[in-house]
Amino acid sequence: MRKKMFKKGSSANWFLGLFVVLFLVVVARTVIGVSGNDSKPDVVATEQQVVVSEKPVVLTFSDVLRRAEDIKSINIRDKDANGVLKDGTKFKAVISYDPEFLTKLSEKGAVVSIDSSQSWVDVLGTWLPIIFTLLIVFWIFRGLRGGASGGLSRTLLAQNPTKVTTGKPKTTFADVAGIDAEKQELMEIVEFLKNKDKFKALGARVPRGVLLSGEPGTGKTLLARAIAGEANVPFFATSGSDFSGIIVGLGVAKIKEMFEMAKRNAPCILFIDEIDAIGQKRSSHSFNDQDREQTLNQLLIEMDGFANETGIIVIGATNRPDMLDTALLRPGRFDRQVQIELPDLAGRDAILNLHAKKFKISPDVQLKDVARGTTGFSGADLENLLNEGALHAVRAGHKSVEQSDLDEARDKILMGPKKNRKMRAEDIKLTAYHEAGHAFVSVIYADVTDPIHKATIVPRGRALGMVQHLPVDDKVSMTIQEVRANLAVAMAGRASEEIFFGADKITTGAEADIDMATRLARYSITTAGLSPKIGLAAVKQVAAFGMRTQLESASEQTAQMVDAEIRSWLDKAHADAVKILTKNKKTVEKLADELLKRETLTGEEIKEIVLGGKKSKPEAKKMVKKRVKKTNAKK
């Protein structure tokens, strides 16, 4: 009964609202129209329209300005202008509309006409957004009034339930691998949930909120569940993005509801994923700013409100902790912050081993090697890799997941699926020599570069072929020797093309190599201070989140020196590669032939071909030493 009454009232509101909206729009249009005509008395407005029969020349806006005197007539419709020059040439141009421009044109004697007849699309284009905006404003007012009385927000809440997953998870810390330090830190929370009274008796200030920050897939949700599982308490999970909506007041109501639920079930864990969606710094000015601010305030109120002994722990997760409003991080709120990094080599190994239990993995598989080849993978990525590997094993008809399946899965995740691109025979041949060049030089520099894992001419993603390296360990830095060896390896693909096919047959296929090499050289010289010529000055620095910020703006002179130095490093790397490959033409040819025959060669097979069983390692070492000495001498 009450509901019905409410509805009636609201539809009456709607009619009134629409009426007011239309009225406002009409008034607005009239006012705009009138003032628009009055303020430009010197513009001759005629209805004549330029008929374009032959193709008009296209002028830029500045052309039009510059040649104002040459213009006989011009017709303007929005940003498009059509006209005739005094010599009879027709022209068209895209102009920036401004009254002064029109005045200037007519002063120079041009006949200016403005075509203001509106097409249907134009009418809709101007009116619809206005009507829409006003409707939304009404909607918001309704929301506010409802929020005050409480009735409406409850109705809205019923219509837009918060998505909460709940239950007592069976997840424990044993399901989380590779992040032992973080687990250790969170153990305290588990202790508190288990023995609230002990904490209380000692008067210890107990945590209320924990902020887990880290990239997606690093196990934040998993950890939160594991805390609940370890402590054997209920787990409520929602996402911050669920709280922001266009309906003002709903977020606040949802927060209230969620905390009520948590209080009824305490002790418990309340997990809010993507908390940055609510807790963003209150500075940006977006449309639903006000709403978000209210929601955030409500969250702060709730977090301040519950007494410590209730035993609610709020766990927030975000991958942008820097975006959070500092009010959220104050004591008594999210005062524990745990940063979860992407797993390191040992961590990846542990995570792979943990998840591998779910799959039938061949005993030959070296998960450690998989871990080595997956720098930068998150826990979720690794799980996905195992799953992709298993899928591939099924397709390939293997009895268990083999190393090749996991390799394939990794390549697919990193580079995209295999391509069945038809390539011309000579393209395939050139690719084989290109990759053979990379492979040969990287074996020569085996001591300073990552060991070669495989070379292939099977196209994948945008790559026509590739040589992969497997780092022995996670790299945190590179020596100058490594940098220069890597540059030579990168340049060896193109070098090989030149040597075996001639300078006039080189291809664009080396694009990625050149790009990588240039970036590495630039970074080493401008940021890492590896160049004696430029010295220990940061000319440019790459800031967090990949955005390039210029810390020290370089003088023109320095910039020129940097450019010259980068070029000299790259030229040197290229020359080195050419020298090595020219000296060993026979072996490189053999390597390319094998690639053409077998498409993919493992690191072992490549070494076998290049070194031919002989121990030429010392030789390679000598070469590198000589080269480095030369570099240093060049200062």
Nearer to Zn ion, 513 or 576 (CB): 513
Token output for 478: 């590179």
Closest listed residue to residue 408, CA positions, set 386, 429, 426, 424: 386
State the number of binding residues for Zn ion (CB under 5 A): 2
Looking at the DSSP bridge assignments, the partners of residue 77 are: 80
Handedness of CA 18, 20, 23, 25 (dihedral sign): negative
Q: Assess 482 for contact with Zn ion (CB under 5 A).
A: no
Out of 64, 351, 495, 588, the residue judged to bind ligand ADP by CB under 6 A: 351
If one counts every other C-beta atom within 10 angstroms of the C-beta of residue 604, the result is 12
Minimum gap (Å) between residue 491 Cβ and Zn ion: 9
- Complete DSSP assignment for 165-231: B-S-----GGG--S-HHHHHHHHHHHHHHH-HHHHHHTTPPPP-EEEEEESTTSSHHHHHHHHHHHH
Cα–Cα distances (Å) from 30 to 24, 35, 583, in that order, read 10, 9, 84
Q: Assess 219 for contact with Zn ion (CB under 5 A).
A: no
Nearer to ligand ADP, 120 or 545 (CB): 545
∠ CA 27-28-33, rounded to 5°: 100
> Based on C-alpha coordinates, what's the Rg of the chain?
34
Nearer to ligand ADP, 150 or 216 (CB): 216
Q: Which does 578 bind (CB under 5 to 8 A by kind): ligand ADP, Zn ion, none?
A: none
Minimum gap (Å) between residue 437 Cβ and Zn ion: 8
Q: Assess 390 for contact with ligand ADP (CB under 6 A).
A: no
Residues between 127 and 146 with contacts to Zn ion, criterion CB under 5 A: none
Minimum gap (Å) between residue 182 Cβ and ligand ADP: 9
Minimum gap (Å) between residue 509 Cβ and Zn ion: 7
Backbone phi, psi, residue 57, to 5°:
-80, 150
**Can 260 be counted among the known catalytic residues?**
no
If one counts every other C-beta atom within 10 angstroms of the C-beta of residue 264, the result is 9
State the first-to-last Cα distance of the chain, in angstroms, to the nearest integer. Answer: 90
Q: Which does 566 bind (CB under 5 to 8 A by kind): ligand ADP, Zn ion, none?
A: none
- Pattern 156-185, binding to ligand ADP, x per CB under 6 A? --------------------xxxx------
Q: Which does 493 bind (CB under 5 to 8 A by kind): ligand ADP, Zn ion, none?
A: Zn ion
Minimum gap (Å) between residue 419 Cβ and Zn ion: 16
Nearer to ligand ADP, 351 or 371 (CB): 351
| Binding range to ligand ADP, per CB under 6 A, among 158-166, 214-222, 515-523, 624-632 | 214-222
Q: Assess 510 for contact with ligand ADP (CB under 6 A).
A: no
Length of the chain equals: 635
Minimum gap (Å) between residue 239 Cβ and ligand ADP: 10
Q: How far apart are CA 310 and CA 42, in angstroms?
A: 76
Minimum gap (Å) between residue 514 Cβ and Zn ion: 9
Q: Look at the block and give the residue holding tokens 């083999």.
A: 402
Q: How far apart are CA 226 and CA 183, in angstroms?
A: 9
For every residue of 28-40, which 3-state class applies, written as one string?
HHHHHHHHHHHCC
Q: Assess 220 for contact with ligand ADP (CB under 6 A).
A: yes
Closest listed residue to residue 420, CA positions, set 363, 392, 460, 383: 460
Q: How far apart are CA 341 and CA 498, in angstroms?
A: 43
Q: Assess 261 for contact with ligand ADP (CB under 6 A).
A: no
Cα–Cα distances (Å) from 24 to 18, 20, 27, 29, 140, in that order, read 10, 6, 5, 9, 18
Out of 218, 239, 318, 374, the residue judged to bind ligand ADP by CB under 6 A: 218
Q: Which does 457 bind (CB under 5 to 8 A by kind): ligand ADP, Zn ion, none?
A: none
Nearer to Zn ion, 448 or 455 (CB): 455
| Binding range to ligand ADP, per CB under 6 A, among 136-144, 217-225, 411-419, 588-596 | 217-225
If one counts every other C-beta atom within 10 angstroms of the C-beta of residue 481, the result is 17
Token output for 519: 């970036």
State the number of binding residues for ligand ADP (CB under 6 A): 18
Q: Which does 513 bind (CB under 5 to 8 A by kind): Zn ion, ligand ADP, none?
A: Zn ion
Q: How far apart are CA 534 and CA 346, in angstroms?
A: 37
Nearer to ligand ADP, 275 or 521 (CB): 275
Nearer to ligand ADP, 274 or 576 (CB): 274
Nearer to ligand ADP, 386 or 452 (CB): 386
Q: How far apart are CA 489 and CA 443, in angstroms?
A: 9
Out of 276, 383, 411, 450, the residue judged to bind ligand ADP by CB under 6 A: 383
Q: How far apart are CA 338 and CA 226, in angstroms?
A: 15
Q: How far apart are CA 230 and CA 243, in angstroms?
A: 28
Contact between 347 and 178 (Cβ < 8 Å): yes
Nearer to ligand ADP, 199 or 235 (CB): 235
Residues between 484 and 543 with contacts to Zn ion, criterion CB under 5 A: 493, 513
Residues between 311 and 330 with contacts to ligand ADP, criterion CB under 6 A: 317
Out of 162, 221, 431, 456, the residue judged to bind ligand ADP by CB under 6 A: 221
Catalytic residue among 435, 498, 565, 594: 435
Closest chain position to ligand ADP (CB): 379
Q: Please state whether beta strands 600-602 and 548-549 pair in parallel, antiparallel, or not at all (unpaired).
A: unpaired
Minimum gap (Å) between residue 409 Cβ and ligand ADP: 15
Residues of this chain that interact with Zn ion (CB under 5 A) are 493, 513
Residues of this chain that interact with ligand ADP (CB under 6 A) are 176-179, 214, 216-222, 317, 351, 354, 379-380, 383
Residues with active-site annotation: 435
